[in-house]
Amino acid sequence: MKKVLSGNSAAAYGSMLVRAEVISAYPITPQTKIVEKIADLIANGEFKTEFVKVESEHSAMAAAVSASLVGARTFTATSAQGLLLMHEILHWASASRTPIVMVNINRGLAPPWSVWADQTDSIAQRDTGWMQFYCESCQEVLDTMIQLYKVAEDKDVLLPAMLSEDAFLLSHTSEIVDIPDQEKVDDFLGTFDPEYKLDVNRPMSFGSLSMPHQYYYEFRYKIAEAMENAKNKIIEVERDFEKVFGRSYGGFLDLYRCDGADIVLVAAGSMSSTIRIAVDEMRDKGHKVGLARLRVFRPFPVEEFKKLAKDVKIIGVLDRSFCFGYEGAFFTEIKSALYNMDDRPLVKGYVVGIGGRDVTLDVIFEIIDDCMKTTDTKEESFKWIGLKG
């Protein structure tokens, strides 16, 4: 059924469609409406779930880990400062192998206060052992939530997954969303029934001490291995999802008009939609420009980037985040992925949209123009676009 929904409402409907059994969340702008919508759905009797009220995001994630450990399908949502407060428990979640799905609304970090789009909050959780997905539309938010439970709960994966959507540009943007039939989602997902869980009839302990000579090292290796396993699973699940629901999002790298492209822009999240318009305009003028939308940041799509890079002259990477003391995270990681190629393209980095600064068509054309003017293919380049004087 088609409805006009915001990215926040899409996430709330997603949690109902996957039949999340436990939800613990603490409200924070611009995520608050996810919690409010879930509360509405529970109050009007549409959604049967255990909503755990908590006093902070740290507790929200702790409750989510506990719920997942007893074998409940668990959902939570947060943003920015809230995500940072969860940081300690994010590690607990992945190392406990709890397949929690969380929606994070990408928002700028204070100070100064900003409630607008900025991906630094989730990039700062890169090393927590969570899968990371970035969405472009409200429909993709809903569909990806369904996909993520299927990936996360797979016995060869069993890792938590974070779905990020840009503050306001998706969280508060209402657009047409096709809500899938409940029966189809039920058939697609099945129920969550982990082999190891907290069960009074089958006692076992989780998270106890592991001495250096015992298995801590191997537990960490297993997480690394699970991330590798997730790569195939993400592709497989999206293929299956497309068969049932008729929609797909390109897996790891959503390629748009990259065939024969000399210049490819890489971006994640809502700005990708606007970039598609710029790409079309450039193609109409005969310029070979494409977009590779980075949909999955962890596990990182090294092979996909290598394949893309074979036939491309310049890759322009747009980061809506910044790692102080170096550069944009996507820029760094894409260069690293291509380093061992014999004939790699020039990779140029651009910071845009920090703190919700509007990424307009003019901004994108400026970047395309900068790439087109590049003559020295060994030139290193990294720029903040549109800084005010």
Residues that bind another protein (CB under 8 A): 2, 4, 29, 168-169, 172-176, 270-271, 273-274, 276-277, 358-361
Task: Report the b/e string of 124-145 with b at 16+ CB within 10 A.
Answer: bbeebbbbbbbbbbbbbbbbbb
Q: How far is the CB of 245 from another protein (least distance, A)?
A: 17
- Residue placing its CB nearer to another protein in the complex, 236 or 366: 366
CB neighbour list of residue 199: distance below 8 Å, 6 or more residues apart: 70, 71
* DSSP 8-state secondary structure symbol assigned to residue 363: H
Number of C-alpha atoms within 13 angstroms, CB side, residue 219? 18
- Residue placing its CB nearer to another protein in the complex, 61 or 105: 105
Q: How far is the CB of 275 from another protein (least distance, A)?
A: 9
Instruction: Tell me how far apart the terminal alpha carbons of the chain are, to the nearest angstrom.
Output: 49
Q: Reading across the β-sheet that carries 131-134, which strands appear in turn? A: 50-52, 22-24, 74-79, 101-106, 161-166, 131-134, 296-298
Q: How far is the CB of 188 from another protein (least distance, A)?
A: 25
- Residue placing its CB nearer to another protein in the complex, 90 or 294: 294
- Residue placing its CB nearer to another protein in the complex, 15 or 29: 29
Q: Are 189 and 152 in contact (CB under 8 A)?
A: no
Q: How far is the CB of 36 from another protein (least distance, A)?
A: 11
- Residue placing its CB nearer to another protein in the complex, 152 or 258: 258
Q: How far is the CB of 310 from another protein (least distance, A)?
A: 28
Q: How far is the CB of 174 from another protein (least distance, A)?
A: 4
Nearest CA to 151 among 119, 182, 192?
Answer: 192
- Residue placing its CB nearer to another protein in the complex, 50 or 281: 281
